[in-house]
Amino acid sequence: MIKRGLPTRRVQSFSEVLNKVNEIVGRVKREGDLALMELTYELDKVKLESLILDEEVIEARSGLLPREVRSSIDLIWEQLTSFHELIKPPSLGGGNRNVEYGILWRPLDRVGIYVPGGKRSYPSTLMMAGIPAVIAGVGEIYVATPVKGDLDPATAYISKKLKVKRIYPVGGAQAIAALAYGTETVQRVDKIVGPGNVYVQAAKFIVSGDVGIDGIEGPTELVVIADETADPKSVALDLMAQGEHGNSSLLVLISNSDEVLEKVSGLLQGDNEFYLVKANTLDEAVEMANGIAPEHLSLYTSRARELLPKVRNAGAVTLGKTPPALIDYSAGPDHILPTNGWARFRGGVTVYDFLKAISYVNAVDADKELAESARTLAEYEGFSIHGRSIGVRYE
């Protein structure tokens, strides 16, 4: 369905389902494995025999992966690794006023990766979360994913490459609750990473007081800014591609060319909502996109490089005719990207999501003036013992 003008809201937001998801999370917290079994039956119509996938089954499923898909995964593995290795931060140390200080980047001990699997299978997502986790040096990786029938062979193959500890064949909010609080069978983790539908993201939001989360990565979003140099067929394909994720995808085309808008409008098919918007200039188009803060932004214009510095809010940007779907699979940067406006304050998943910065200080020989300034400010705040604890050492 074509709509004219800017969208005023997301097609579906996690905040609309918080009440329902709260109940699911509470049930898993109270009843553990039993709730997981029952909810998987109620919501997914799957009768689980076990909450852990057997290693022999994973091995056997992995063996079924066609050779060319395995080779593609191996090639993509190297490309994603090269990106996350490039941006992995070094531990840094320095000093001032005889204070030695620095930062140690430490990997998380245990991470849970949610791999969506409601409508489609997402082995690519397992790589997008797992590779930066491995590069960061995460101790243990656990995976939760809804499994209808048998495990996807590509998911099995990638899990083996990542040395995943366990795969739990559970999806939805119940999987997130289990990873957050643990059950008799499911290991509680330090952080949950991964995209999913609004139920999955609502659950991540609810448990985020008790476990780390990577943000909100819900239904896919794409804004394309196209000028008269853009190929209407490619633009239509880019929009329909992200529509493949489901009817909740947010799909917007902004153009300064009436001709591009009309041609793309004539090519769009399927039952997604497509928003078509006229901008007077490309700069105005970028401002509109900044207001939306989309997950994916495509600058399909001959001025892409010039416009890039004006982009303030977007999860990932593709330049010129680069297809956004290349980020989804093999370009290098992650496809786990913020949605629902969260691109205003965070970017996509990177190796940083699996690291924490621990700062350290060695001030045994600190400059007296510096110590004195701390003592003065502590006393000003009324924290006299803080002041004395400093003063007694540097007199």
Ligand X SMILES: N[C@H](CO)Cc1c[nH]c[nH+]1
Nearest distance in Å: CB 373, ligand NAD: 46
Residue 114: CB atoms within 10 Å: 32
Q: Is 334 in the site for ligand X (CB under 6 A)?
A: no
Of 57-65, 118-126, 272-280, 304-312, the segment contacting ligand X by CB under 6 A is 118-126
Q: Is 263 in the site for ligand X (CB under 6 A)?
A: no
Overall size of the chain counted in residues: 395
Using DSSP bridges, classify how beta strands 166-168 and 110-114 pair: parallel, antiparallel or unpaired: unpaired
Q: Which of 152, 214, 238, 295 touches ligand X by CB under 6 A?
A: 295
Question: Which residue number, 125 or 255, has a Cβ lying nearer to ligand X?
Answer: 125
**Where in the sequence numbering do the catalytic residues fall?**
295-296
Helix (H) or strand (E) holding 260: helix 258-267
State yes or no: 273 annotated in a binding site.
no
Q: Is 353 in the site for ligand NAD (CB under 6 A)?
A: no
Of 29-37, 122-130, 185-193, 379-387, the segment contacting ligand X by CB under 6 A is 122-130
Of 29-37, 78-86, 117-125, 228-236, the segment contacting ligand X by CB under 6 A is 117-125
Using DSSP bridges, classify how beta strands 110-114 and 191-193 pair: parallel, antiparallel or unpaired: parallel
If DSSP states are collapsed to H, E and C, what string results for 289-349? HHHHCCCEEEEECCCHHHHHHHCCCCCEEEECCCCHHHHHHCCCCCCCCCCCCHHHCCCCC
Q: Is 124 in the site for ligand X (CB under 6 A)?
A: yes
State yes or no: 256 annotated in a binding site.
no
Q: Which residue number places its CB atom closest to ligand X?
A: 328
- Asked if 313 and 31 touch (Cβ cutoff 8 Å), the reply is no
CA separation for the pair 375, 254 (Å, rounded):
57
Using DSSP bridges, classify how beta strands 296-300 and 2-4 pair: parallel, antiparallel or unpaired: unpaired
What torsion do the CA atoms of 70, 71, 73, 78 make, to the nearest 10 degrees?
Answer: 140
Annotated binding site for Zn(2+): 242, 245, 328, 386
> Footprint of ligand X on this chain (CB under 6 A)?
122, 124-125, 220, 242, 295, 328, 335, 337
Annotated binding site: 114, 174, 197, 220, 242, 245, 296, 328, 381, 386
> Footprint of ligand NAD on this chain (CB under 6 A)?
43-44, 116-120, 122, 125, 146, 171-173, 195-197, 199-200, 217-220, 245-246, 248-249, 295, 335-337, 339
